[in-house]
């Protein structure tokens, strides 16, 4: 890995496929921000801070922006830039306010494991609910559907198996993996039909 200082607080890294492989990840993991990629960047930042190659005012409250510039034959170029806590907190506040905007058109529920999602989907099929999108992101499954089609029975089932999430379709499409875009309950329940 080659490291070049762009400024006092910004670093440019040339990360090779071998560097990624030594952490058990590949370039796709960087794009999808997997836990392995987060561990990789945390390790790099810790090493740089230990060697005093990177100086930030408050290490305990710092977070970093990671920009992947693009692929080159030698690997991928990445820019690391520390965010001040207030800047980071401001971004978090904006995201929180955006997720609290009442969007009457869609509801999203999250599930910690596939078994809960599968049980929900089989019960939804039994009550005639075949529609809804299913996503996977950061080890969680998400069920997204139009709220106009919700009933008290549907909401009770969703609450029994999952938790309401503030995630929106555009966020899940960009950052998650679409498992089924239209008929999620039908798709999931058919996976294990006899």
The pLDDT value given to residue 86: 47
The pLDDT value given to residue 81: 72
Domains of the chain: 2-89 (no CATH), 102-190 (3.30.70.1950)
Give the sheet arrangement for strand 106-111, strand by strand. Answer: 163-165, 106-111, 140-146, 133-137, 177-180
The pLDDT value given to residue 88: 46
The pLDDT value given to residue 92: 53
**Length of the chain, in residues:** 194
The pLDDT value given to residue 141: 93
The pLDDT value given to residue 136: 92
The pLDDT value given to residue 5: 76
pLDDT along the chain (194 residues), means of 10: 75 82 82 80 77 58 64 77 54 50 71 91 88 91 80 82 87 89 88 70
- Cβ neighbourhood burial of 45 (10 Å; 0-12, 13-18, 19+): buried
**Distance between CA atoms of residues 114 and 177, nearest Å:** 14
Q: What is the reported pTM? A: 0.47
The pLDDT value given to residue 111: 92
Contacts of 82 by beta carbon, 8 Å cutoff, 6+ apart: 9, 54, 56, 62, 63, 64, 65
């Amino acid at each position: 890995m080659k490291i070049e200082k762009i400024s006092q607080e910004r670093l440019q890294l040339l990360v090779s496929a071998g560097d990624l492989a030594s952490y058990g990840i590949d370039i796709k993991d960087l794009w999808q921000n997997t836990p392995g990629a987060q561990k990789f960047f945390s390790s790099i930042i810790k090493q740089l801070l230990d060697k005093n190659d990177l100086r930030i005012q408050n290490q305990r409250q710092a977070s970093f922006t990671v920009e992947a510039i693009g692929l080159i034959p030698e690997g991928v170029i990445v820019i690391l830039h520390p965010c001040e806590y207030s800047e980071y907190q401001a971004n978090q506040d904006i995201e929180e306010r955006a997720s609290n905007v009442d969007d009457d058109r869609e509801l999203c529920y999250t599930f910690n494991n596939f078994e809960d999602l599968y049980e929900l989907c089989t019960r939804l099929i039994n009550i005639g609910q075949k529609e809804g999108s299913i996503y996977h992101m950061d080890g969680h499954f998400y069920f997204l559907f139009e709220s106009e089609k919700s009933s008290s029975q549907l909401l009770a089932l969703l609450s029994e198996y999952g938790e309401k999430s503030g995630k929106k379709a555009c966020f899940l499409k960009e950052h998650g993996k679409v498992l089924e875009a239209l008929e999620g309950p039908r798709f999931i329940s058919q996976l294990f039909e006899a």
